[in-house]
Amino acid sequence: MLRSLLLEYQVLHALLLRELQTRFGSHRLGYLWALIEPIIMIGTFAAVWSAFGRGGQLKHDVLSFLATGFIPFILFRETTNRSLYAIDGNKGLLFYTLVRPLDLVVARILLELATQVVVFIVMIAGIAMYRGGLEFHDLLTTMVGLLLASALGGSLGLTLCGLTAFSPSVERIQGPLLRPLFWVSGLFYPATALPLNLKHLSGYNPVLHVVEMVREGWLPGYAAYQTSVSYVLAWILTLTFVGLALERVARRRLQLS
Amino acid sequence: MITLEGVTKAYRTRTGHNVVLNALNFEFPARSNTGILGRNGAGKSTLLRILSGAEQPDAGRVRREGRISWPIGFSGGFSLALTGRENSRFVARLYGADVNTVSRFAQEFSDLGEYFEMPVRTYSSGMRARLAFALSMAIDFDVYLVDEVTAVGDSRFQKRCREAFLARSERSSVIIVSHDLRTIRSYCSSCAVLHQGQLLGFDSIDAAAAVYEA
């Protein structure tokens, strides 16, 4: 047991460093790329809002409000994307027989989590310096929210990845599947501001739950609509279970050459 | 030591199932070099992938004792964006070997010169094969699985490979698949022929050769 845990650590450690090098190492400013997307998103929304004088309706700082929405969403979306292509992009590594398909997925999930946590800290620190003060409500809730966003993205990516073994067209539905979530997950509005029937419906969206969790933890006095850890966990466990089951079946169909 | 018990593998093709390995039973002895002769398309590389564990058989099982190498001669495990050194460090970490020892050995053995610090993308296929081979020699395995050594490098490099295998044959065994009888003769003491999904063992290479060339 201990030996296989050590081996697992050894394999994941090697894979993580390799992913880190291949993902960020080839560009001199590689790490900056991870920051550019949230900066553009948040900047655009903040600019449009202030042009229309809409930000004033929020009782919270606009930049912090947007950052706590966009970053957990980007974490979720990127983890899904990266774990979906984890095996396809690294098939050659399976020849090193210590590496199992699942290791490739886990390494990518971990690297994305680490990356986006750093992005979150940098953005929040930047906003705090700009505003000349840092305040937050409950750090633990924010951290749980980010972890759940990562696990949700990872388990969805695992399931989609398993499905691609049966039909490659899964890669094509992934875009249309994730894009609407950008609009319905409360990234740029508080869920409580929705009309009653929409509000009820959006409670089924687990991404909205994690966004609200991150926000509730960060913004003092933010009234979240839905932040059920157990609801999100149910999604994660179901998707993980389906993904692992698919992996077991797909493993035999995986042809290396 | 590797033991095959009823190992079967088939691939889906347009015309139906193509059974590559049909209920193989075989025992590869420890500390002995075994050659596997087979014509092109006989399933040699498939067998090697299954021996290594990179692919699962459809039925049957493979028992392995000791550390088994990946199929050597295969260079698809490299990240093309990373340098020879970075790839070496990755393999060393993966197998829990000392990072500096492995990359120093790989650098010397592969004889890539300053290309060792260049991305693998810039390598020719021969250079990739040399790096792959050097790396597998840098890690201590109990069984080395080799696919077509003859394809790797020039005669000077092949000489070096032979010496490396000889130096290891005290502790390790080698399983080589090839379609070339000369390769098998120069490395192996016993031999098997892979033909029509069956693996037939022979005590001497001459006996195997007689069947193979018939």
Tokens 């809730």 belong to residue: A141
Q: CA B98, B146, A95 angle in degrees (round to 5)?
A: 60
* Nearest residue of chain B to residue A8 (CA atoms): B94
pLDDT digits (tens, 9 = 90+) for B4-14: 999 999 887 77
Question: Least CB-CB distance to B94: which of A11, A25, A91?
Answer: A11
Average pLDDT, chain B: 86
pLDDT number for residue A234: 97
Give the pLDDT confidence score for residue B151 in this predicted structure: 57
- To the nearest 10 degrees (0 to 180), the angle between helices B155-168 and B125-138 is 20
Q: Could you tell me the pLDDT band of residue A12, with boundaries at 50, 70 and 90?
A: very high
Is residue A110 scored above 90 in pLDDT?
Answer: yes
pLDDT of residue A22: 85
Using one digit for the tens of pLDDT, what is the confidence trace for A18-42?
A: 999 888 876 667 778 889 989 999 9
pLDDT (0 to 100) of residue A142: 95
A67 — pLDDT class (breaks 50, 70, 90) = very high
Give the relative orientation of helices A229-253 and A139-164 as an angle to the nearest 10 degrees: 30
| Mean pLDDT, residues B95-124 taken together | 94
Confidence of residue A146 (pLDDT cuts 50, 70, 90): very high
Taking contacts as CB-CB distances below 8 angstroms, the residues of chain B near A17 are 90, 93
Q: Looking at residue A26, what is its pLDDT?
A: 63
A210 vs A189: CA distance, rounded Å: 14
pLDDT band at A244 (very low <50, low <70, confident <90, very high): very high
CA contacts within 13 A on the Cβ side of B56: 11
- Give the per-residue pLDDT at A41: 92
Q: What pLDDT is attached to residue A154?
A: 96
* The pLDDT of residue A69 is above 70: yes
Name every chain A residue with its beta carbon within 8 A of the beta carbon of B147. none
Which residue from B56, B74, B94 is facing A252, i.e. has the nearest CB?
B56
Report pLDDT for B153: 67
Q: Which residue has the higher pLDDT, A157 or A89?
A: A157
pLDDT of residue A254: 66
pLDDT at position A160 over 90: yes
Q: DSSP assignment, residue B111? A: T
pLDDT reported for residue A28: 64
pLDDT digit string (tens) for B143-187?
A: 999 887 555 667 888 888 888 888 887 788 889 898 888 888 888
CA angle A193, A77, A166 (to 5 degrees): 125
Instruction: Check residues A234 and B15 and name the one with the higher pLDDT.
Output: A234
**Interface size between A and B, measured as CB pairs under 8 A:** 63
pLDDT grade for B125, boundaries at 50, 70 and 90: confident
Contacts of residue B93 in chain A, CB cutoff 8 Å?
A: 10, 13-14, 17
Read off φ and ψ for residue B142, nearest 5 degrees.
-85, -35
CA–CA distances in Å: residue A50 to residues A46, A56, A61, A63, A134: 6, 8, 12, 11, 22
Going by pLDDT thresholds of 50, 70 and 90, the confidence category of residue A171 is confident
Mapped to the 3 state alphabet, what secondary structure does B137-199 carry?
Answer: HHCCCCEEEEECHHHCCCHHHHHHHHHHHHHHCCCCEEEEEECCHHHHHHHCCEEEEEECCEE
Residue of B nearest to A19 (CA): B79
Looking at the complex, does the CB of residue B44 fall below 8 Å from at least one CB of chain A? no
The mean-pLDDT minimum among A11-20, A64-73, A220-229, B94-103 falls in A220-229
pLDDT score of A1 = 75
Nearest to B93 among A17, A25, A92 (CB): A17
Complex confidence, ipTM? 0.83
Whether chain A has a CB inside 8 Å of the CB on B132: the answer is: no
Task: Average the pLDDT over B71-84 and give the result.
Answer: 84
* Local structure of residue B42 (DSSP, 8 states): S
Of A189 and A233, the structure prediction assigns the larger pLDDT to A233
Residue A62 has pLDDT above 80, yes or no: yes
Interchain CB distance below 8 Å, B94 and A256 = no
pLDDT tens figures, B47-61: 998 999 888 888 899
